[in-house]
Structure 1
């Protein structure tokens, strides 16, 4: 059996959907399992032992209809028996439709129902600690006779990567006898980024309580924004921030994070990656993101906060409908609301 799983776009989505391969491999040990992803997301699934082959969806296919249809025709030539479309957007609808697979599975949408043989309705709530993002993905395997309550995403680093990152941190004067915290200071966009002055106060609180070392998660093109948050921190806090110690690639970031006591900050790919590395997390959700979907494996080691937890009266409609109001809602998500729960989290480390 030859299976194609489609999950384009975001790093966190690609990592989360990788759980399907572990379940597929256990049920069908001899199957050929292929993963169609955007090329920039590959580092989070590199070395995954359950995936046989990667197919990269590039900017060329994303921007050109002609390139997209040529890409879809090439997928058809690979003769997949099963296509599982987790992404379920126009480009993946076209790829699925052209694939010629005898079994095509995706989420239920009225306008794409004819494309797929199995249209799975997403659950809106779950009692599983794994979270809706995990539960709903695993539902896509039910037509193949696979029933799994929970699988946790995993990232596979090599010993060489971990050793190299430890040497890097040592060379940059990180003291392993002291607590070290990776701070996800920036989200994937403005509407997923805790306001800079508020984030600075959170970092101040972490240092005041723990006297720990602070690393910032950012990429070079985000340096100005990261610097702005650094400048807003108290002078005594700044002395604990190793601003120039960061991963220059995604794999570097992952390896460095394995040496941290916790990752704290904006919800997004960094949090999901930390969880996949078994690093403890404290997550600040954007006001318009549904916490029930993405608070994966919530427990004493993985804690999260959402404005809705403190001011439910603001939510007269679903979170997603408040996307345009994210910035005004963020203004009401003040650090004093977060700090008591953060204090308890840090005490538990």
Structure 2
């Protein structure tokens, strides 16, 4: 492979699909690309469900969205991928090598098509590749850029709000009987049972925190189909819990998180959004590894520490790592994070 550290691309396409958290974790790479090539136009290919977290991102010129329903017809899909691929890119960065990404790469005439080290049957699609680095997921993603002379230096995920969104969040927080920096967001849901801390444990942790900080509120987050989980946590926790009648959009949720004292939840997208909006987080880990944790004392991951932890399994008969990990085992970290945040906020106000 030839040296590409001195290329000067004018149009760049970054391909990052699937889960919302993965797209959030790719935002440091988008920043790094734009900083390396400030005159280039940077476009992103992602799925429709993920696109909103990229709105107002100053590093991105255009977002190509994949609407799976609209592209159910294979010929329609291929025409769309061809349109994207033939849009004059001279650098494509494929973070995943998923089939939809590969179709775009296949149709492209880009002289540099960069990805992670591909299996032998994909190598004909790419001109350059890089071995991924272990560690925090955003670091791992950014390591694909090393052949361009780009290194990750601790850049966190990012979400950018308009003034109108910030104003909406302030008004919404007040409408729910809360005050900025006087509430905790709680994310008790997860689509994988092996990543979901039981509702009774979330409720138990809320009670323990409430006993120390009786003025704090606890705002329960929920997505499509997750309201019953939120309501069960609220029922068990009792005083101090707030559940909005309106399900928030991704951007609304992140904007509310930006005003919170702390985020507590499972290992899912809201934890990455908390990092992106600079709100401390406490995440309870089940089957997932620590590669999802941002390296900072303000973002803490806790787990039972069993020999089988971080197994990455989607099914487990006992779920011992979650069922037997009690609120009392992480209350000290929660109180530390809350205390630090409240002290900082009080100093800023003073």
What's the TM-score, normalizing by structure 1? 0.86
Cα 1:123–1:142 change in 2 (3 A) is closer
Alignment of structure 1 residues 79-228 onto 2, 5 Å: 79-110=88-119, 111-125=121-135, 131=136, 133-176=137-180, 179-211=182-214, 212-219=216-223, 221-228=225-232
| Distance 1:229-1:182 versus aligned 2 partners, 3 A rule | same
Contact 1:216 1:246 in 2 (8 A): no
Q: How far apart, in 2, do the equivalents of 1:57 and 1:294 lie?
A: 25
Residues 167, 68 of structure 1: alpha-carbon distance in 2 compared, 3 angstrom cutoff: same
Aligned counterpart in structure 1 of residue 308 of structure 2, from 301, 306, 314: 314
Aligned equivalents of 1:331 and 1:64: distance in 2? 44
Match of 2:248? Answer: 248
Deviation at 1:248, TM superposition (A): 2.4
Per the TM alignment, residue 157 of structure 1 is displaced from its structure 2 partner at its CA by: 0.8
Local SS of the residue matching 1:84: strand
Q: Aligned-pair distance for 1:67?
A: 3.4
Q: By how many angstroms is 1:305 displaced?
A: 0.9
Asked if the contact 1:72/1:99 (under 8 Å) is kept, the reply is: no
CA distance in 1, matches of 2:191, 2:57: 25
The CA deviation string for residues 184-240 of structure 1, in whole angstroms up to 9 with x for no partner, is 12124333221122222122222122111110111353212211222222xxxx221
Q: Structure 1 unaligned segments of length 5 or more: list them.
A: 126-130
Q: Distance in 2 between matches of 1:206 and 1:123?
A: 38
Q: Within 1, Cα distance between the matches of 2:308 and 2:175?
A: 48
Aligned residue for 1:23, secondary structure, equals helix
Give the structure 1 partner of residue 301 of structure 2.
Answer: 304
Q: Is the 8 A contact 1:84 1:105 kept in 2?
A: yes
| Uncovered stretches (5+) of structure 2, i.e. residues with no partner | 1-9, 342-350
Using structure 2 for the length normalisation, give the TM-score.
0.86
* CA RMSD, Structure 1 to Structure 2 (Å): 2.2
Per the alignment, in what secondary structure is the counterpart of residue 221 of structure 1? coil
SS of 1:78's partner is: coil
| 1:338 corresponding residue in structure 2 | 330
Q: Is 1:2 matched up with 2:11?
A: yes
Give the drift of 1:245: 6.3
Q: Give the number of equivalent residue pairs.
A: 329
Measure the CA separation in 1 of the matches of 2:140 and 2:251.
28
Q: Is the 8 A contact 2:185 2:221 kept in 1?
A: yes
Shift of 1:247: 5.3
Give 2:258's aligned residue.
258
Could you tell me how far 1:19 is from its partner in structure 2?
Answer: 1.6
Structure that is richer in helix per residue: 1
**How far is the alpha carbon of 1:246 from its aligned partner?**
5.8
Question: How far apart in 1 are the matches of 2:224 and 2:49?
Answer: 16
C-alpha distance 52-196 of structure 1, shift in aligned 2 (>3 A): same
